Structure 1
């Protein structure tokens, strides 16, 4: 069975795509990480989407030690799929776990990434 085209190459012009940190998910990075395996891309994106469901609420109510742990986990997951804005914000929370504003700043970035994932995995 032929392997499906990766998400980065599924659309016309995708073959010329360069990494883009302005999109919620860098599809070129994701393709590189998954070796172009579309099924694996979809599985990883869906896992990230499930992982991030409610994470901001958990972070808001967590003590500083738990915030560091949750933020570090989120940062790693976000970097793996190319959700670099989420990763940057999670790292900020990891570095300053007492700053609730940083936690709240995560919500729109996570929502953007989850919306983007929903749009490309339909």
Structure 2
């Protein structure tokens, strides 16, 4: 049975109206994981792995496959509060669906930048606590 603490209930009570400026919205992440720090770490670890797998497809695959991979990344990023990645992935998805290679290339560069910032924050969050 899962025990729900008041802190966890507070975390899921209401979402922020405007996402924060950080690469990962910590309030959103806590809400999605019910304030469970171990689950947060697991989700972030899985997301980090997923980024690598999906970016390989986004960067090299034909437009329909790239669009599908970008769509998947967008959903995962939204789920953990990595809203800059979600926004950039949405741009890649749209460009790929339209078959616009120049726009897709530009959008992929923006996505790489968002991923770089987010990976730095993930590394910080996953750093062992002494």
2:117 corresponds, among 95, 106, 112, to 112
State the partner residue of 1:92.
91
User: What SS is found at the alignment partner of 1:79?
Assistant: helix
Write out aligned runs for 1:1-122 (5 A): 20-53=19-52, 55-97=54-96, 98=100, 99-122=104-127
State the partner residue of 1:13.
none
Q: Which runs of 5+ in 2 are unaligned?
A: none
Q: When you count helix as a share of all residues, which structure comes out higher?
A: 2
CA radius of gyration, larger in: 2
Greater RCO, CA 8 A, separation 6+: 1
User: What SS is found at the alignment partner of 2:27?
Assistant: helix
Q: List structure 1 runs of 4+ shifted beyond 6 angstroms.
A: none
RMSD, aligned α-carbons: 2.3
**2:19–2:83 contact (8 Å) kept in structure 1:** no
User: What SS is found at the alignment partner of 1:53?
Assistant: helix
User: What SS is found at the alignment partner of 1:28?
Assistant: helix
Aligned residues: 110
**CA apart distance, 1:71:** 0.4
Q: TM-score, normalised by structure 1?
A: 0.80
**CA apart distance, 1:58:** 2.8
